[in-house]
Amino acid sequence: MQFLQKVKDFRELVMFEHSVFSLPFIFIAMVTAAQGWFGFKLLIFGVIASVSARNFAMAFNRFADRRFDATNPRTQNRPSVDGRISKKAMLIFIFVNALIFVAMGYVMNPLCFYLSFPILIILAGYSLVKRFSSAAHLVLGLSLGLAPIAGVAAVSGEIPLWSVYLCIGVLFWVAGFDLLYALQDIQHDKKEGLYSVPSVFGVQKTLWISRIFHCLTLAFWGLFIVEAHLGLWMWIGFFVAVVALCFEQYLVTKNFEHIPRAFFTINGYLGIAFLGFCIVDFISQ
């Protein structure tokens, strides 16, 4: 029972269910690069690499932010704050997941191996950037935006232009909804001197910046579809993304109590739907 409780604590630490944001875009890139099915080997390696990267990033963030999380009512019950997971255990967890991620890069191909080191630096960087710059939201976006770059590198050993467009689209998508999520902590961030966009620019400007970011998301996802020569089903998926992002912006503008729903539910389904349309697009060819 103690072991199961510890597993539950670590699952809560890294918010494992939030892997739904990056996993679909890894597989969109892999399906597109392979022009269809990319094989069980890469499927397994891709899942392990994605999960270990996310575990590393989230655990590092929780470790680095312990002091700030302890003063925020929304986060003060996290396992990294209330003592359920020790500092030593977190550091071991961070190191092991970094090692797994690098190992997955090594067994896939040289490009993935070489990319694994700067990717880990960027994943860890988000936790530190917000101490001195409101660009932290973009760094978080880049952290998830690198998922399709890693996916296409795993399949083809190169980084085509369409994967860069997909990466930038994910970057602005994540940064856009992270701005909305950060509205919950505006007073805390001001008090602690953290440079979130809401604490620096205020609520209304944050809403507009988020809308601009999501417009850029759609622009780059459109470029991805064109550059990758994808078909009708992906354009239908694109239309679904337009509706989802507009609805997300509407929900948050109407009532900030909708932020958790907009953050997780809508964005989670968006990524899965986009992947689904990508698979159907290749099946239908």
- Give residue 36's pLDDT band: very low, low, confident or very high (50, 70, 90): confident
Please report the pLDDT score of residue 130 as a whole number.
Answer: 83
- Give residue 236's pLDDT band: very low, low, confident or very high (50, 70, 90): very high
Check if the beta carbon of residue 130 is closer than 8 Å to that of residue 172: no
Handedness of CA 22, 177, 210, 188 (dihedral sign): negative
- Give residue 96's pLDDT band: very low, low, confident or very high (50, 70, 90): very high
Please report the pLDDT score of residue 220 as a whole number.
Answer: 97
Would residue 229 be called left, alpha or beta, if left means φ above 0 and alpha means ψ between -120 and 50 degrees? left
- Give residue 3's pLDDT band: very low, low, confident or very high (50, 70, 90): low
Would residue 83 be called left, alpha or beta, if left means φ above 0 and alpha means ψ between -120 and 50 degrees? left
Please report the pLDDT score of residue 33 as a whole number.
Answer: 93
- Give residue 5's pLDDT band: very low, low, confident or very high (50, 70, 90): low
Pick 69 or 150 by higher pLDDT: 150
**Residue burial 127-163, b: 16+ Cβ < 10 Å; e: rest:** bebbeeebebbbbbbbbbbbbbbbbbbbbbeebbebb
| Average confidence (pLDDT) over 136-154 | 89
Task: State both tokens at 97.
Answer: 């997941």
Write the DSSP string, 47-102.
Answer: HHHHHHHHHHHHHHHHHHTHHHHHT-TTTTTSHHHHSSS-HHHHHHHHHHHHHHHH
Does the pLDDT at position 66 exceed 90? no
| Average confidence (pLDDT) over 179-207 | 83
> Where is average pLDDT lowest: 162-166, 200-204, 279-283?
200-204
pTM: 0.89
User: What is the average pLDDT score of the chain?
Assistant: 86
Q: Which residue has the tokens 């759609």?
A: 218
Closest of 196, 202, 64 to residue 133, by C-alpha? 196
CA–CA separation, 265 vs 249, rounded Å?
Answer: 13
Instruction: State the burial class of residue 173 (Cβ atoms within 10 Å of its Cβ: 0-12, 13-18, 19+).
Output: buried
Check if the beta carbon of residue 97 is closer than 8 Å to that of residue 30: no
Does the pLDDT at position 223 exceed 90? yes
- Residue 186 has a CB neighbour count (10 Å cut-off) of 18
Does the pLDDT at position 18 exceed 80? no
CA–CA separation, 75 vs 184, rounded Å?
Answer: 11
Share of the chain above pLDDT 90, in %: 35
Does the pLDDT at position 120 exceed 80? yes
Check if the beta carbon of residue 22 is closer than 8 Å to that of residue 50: yes
- Give residue 263's pLDDT band: very low, low, confident or very high (50, 70, 90): low
**Backbone Cα Rg of the chain:** 19
Q: Which residue has the tokens 């875009």?
A: 25
- Residue 230 has a CB neighbour count (10 Å cut-off) of 21
Does the pLDDT at position 90 exceed 90? no
